[in-house]
Amino acid sequence: MLKLPLYLDYNATTPCDPRVMEVMTPYFTENFGNAASRDHSFGWHASEAVQYAREQVAGLIGAVSTEIIFTSGATEADNLALKGVFEMFRSKGNHIITSVVEHKAVLDTCRHLEKLGADVTYLKVNSEGLVDPEELEAAFKPTTILVAIMYANNETGTVMPVKKISAVTRKKGVFFFSDATQAVGKIPIDVNNDGIDLLAFSSHKMYGPKGAGALFLRRKDPRVKLTAQIDGGGHERGIRSGTLNVPGIAGFGKACELCKQEMKQEAKRLSAWRDKLETSLLKLKDTFVNGSTRFRLPHVTNISFNFVESEGLISGIQKDIAVSSGSACSSASREPSYVLKALGVADELARGSIRFSLGRFTTEEQIDFAIVKFIETINQLRTLNPYWKT
């Protein structure tokens, strides 16, 4: 029997895999030591767990364990990368290049740095949501110290031309930072093949616990240095002080291991169901996919339903299905999503957009139910719109 409500909002967060929970549990109880305690077995066990997890996390992205800095999540990792590089290389330059469709954790940090004297260029994207590498190269200045472009967009699932971007940054001798929160564990990533120098990602987007994340920091060719943003006991090689979240990190490591093992099969299954959902809903008139259908994550689609407000649509289905509004607007401002506006999506379409994101525990039965429910609800709402013509 189908259990309601269904969850189709895996880009927001994912449930903890039971296999991850099993690994974490001992570190809440018998192995509760502080990983920084060097004088007894409780600390040793905790330290060993952290080191093993560091190897698991590194293994997922083609890094080595000494290049992984544990954080509380991707937002902290974003802040550490941007602020840390800016402060460390302030004497060489103050120019950062990013894009208009970045996550708020990157955009808001860049705006904060502007108040401190940073010069930030915000690259536009095309109708698919892609950065043009030629425009990126043209934006460089003698003072450029960092390029910050996400790996995949959280609203549309569009995957950026990462290798082309890194080719430009390598040519210019500038660090390349990517927020890969939505991509790690969903598609293959290799920081060396991709030419990435700093990479941020989070445990809770990949069936691990909340409160754990990581920043990959390249150690050679080139070696990346940055200024710590949290001072204290000198944890994480002096880059990120604070007592480590051992249960969360252990779970994060296991989550990475599982993603590495199961990613290929999951992507195949979820892309088929995503396509089934998308194809069925696009049979409705005045319905459009936002973002790239060529370069995107396997489990995501963002669809606009004209003559329907996403708030009303979500209200109509929220007892049965959990999804997100692509418009990302507050009830007060009703402003459409800045990401969709950057793609050139008209305001009325952006306000009628829904992000569907599938995951490990999605079933085809759930997809079939969602198709019927959405078509039914959309048709009902459109009959109430005086501008709708069948």
Last residue of a domain, one of 236, 258, 280: 258
The answer to whether residue 390 sits within a structural domain is: no
Do 149 and 222 have their domain in common? yes
DSSP collapsed to 3 states, the chain: CCCCCEECECCCCCCCCHHHHHHHHHHHCCCCCCCCCCCCHHHHHHHHHHHHHHHHHHHHHCCCHHHEEEECCHHHHHHHHHHHHHHHCCCCCCEEEEECCCCHHHHHHHHHHHHCCCEEEEECCCCCCCCCHHHHHHCCCCCEEEEECCCECCCCCEECCHHHHHHHHHHHCCEEEEECCCCECCECCCHHHHCCCEEEEEHHHCCCCCCCEEEEECCCCCCCCCCCCCCCCCCHHHCCCCCCCHHHHHHHHHHHHHHHHHHHHHHHHHHHHHHHHHHHHCCCCCEEEECCCCCECCCEEEEEECCCCHHHHHHHHCCCEECEECCCCCCCCCCCCHHHHHCCCCHHHHCCEEEEECCCCCCHHHHHHHHHHHHHHHHHHHHCCCCCCC
Q: Which are the catalytic amino acids? A: 329
Do 287 and 224 have their domain in common? no
At CB < 8 A and 24+ separation, what contacts does 195-201 make?
A: 195/162, 195/163, 195/166, 195/167, 195/169, 195/170, 196/162, 196/166, 197/169, 197/222, 197/224, 198/81, 198/85, 198/224, 199/61, 199/151, 200/74, 200/77, 200/78, 200/81, 201/61, 201/74, 201/77
The answer to whether residue 309 sits within a structural domain is: yes
What is each CA distance from 297 to 157, 178, 223, 268, 302, in whole angstroms?
5, 16, 30, 11, 11
Do 333 and 376 have their domain in common? yes
219: domain CATH number is: 3.40.640.10
Count of residues for the chain?
Answer: 390
Do 85 and 25 have their domain in common? yes
Last residue of a domain, one of 203, 233, 258: 258
Q: How confident is the model at residue 325 (pLDDT cuts 50, 70, 90)?
A: confident
Residue 329 pLDDT greater than 60, yes or no? no
pLDDT at position 326: 58
318: domain CATH number is: 3.90.1150.10
What's the CA gap between 235 and 72, in Å, rounded?
Answer: 13
Do 193 and 80 have their domain in common? yes
b/e code 45-80 from CB counts within 10 Å (16+ = b): bbbebbebbbbbbbbbbbbbeebbbbbbbbbbbbbb
Do 61 and 153 have their domain in common? yes
Total domains in the chain come to 2
Q: Mean pLDDT throughout 256-276?
A: 98
What is each CA distance from 173 to 120, 196, 230, 339, in whole angstroms?
18, 12, 28, 29
Residue 110 pLDDT greater than 90, yes or no? yes
Q: How confident is the model at residue 178 (pLDDT cuts 50, 70, 90)?
A: very high
The answer to whether residue 247 sits within a structural domain is: yes
Task: Give tens-digit pLDDT for 128-168.
Answer: 999 999 999 999 999 999 999 999 999 999 999 999 999 99
* Residue 236, token pair as written in the block: 């994480």
The answer to whether residue 138 sits within a structural domain is: yes
Do 214 and 332 have their domain in common? no
Do 123 and 241 have their domain in common? yes
The answer to whether residue 388 sits within a structural domain is: no
* Containing structural domain, residue 58: 18-258
Last residue of a domain, one of 211, 237, 258: 258
Task: Give tens-digit pLDDT for 54-97.
Answer: 999 999 999 999 999 999 999 999 999 999 999 999 999 999 99
Residue 386 pLDDT greater than 70, yes or no? yes
Do 339 and 228 have their domain in common? no
Q: Which residue has the tokens 């892609």?
A: 130
Do 229 and 299 have their domain in common? no
- What radius of gyration, in Å, describes the C-alpha atoms of the chain? 22
pLDDT at position 328: 42
Do 200 and 345 have their domain in common? no
The answer to whether residue 268 sits within a structural domain is: yes
Q: How confident is the model at residue 390 (pLDDT cuts 50, 70, 90)?
A: low
Contacts of 61 (CB under 8 A, 6+ apart): 180, 184, 189, 190, 191, 199, 201, 216
Do 206 and 68 have their domain in common? yes
Per-chain mean pLDDT for the chain: 95
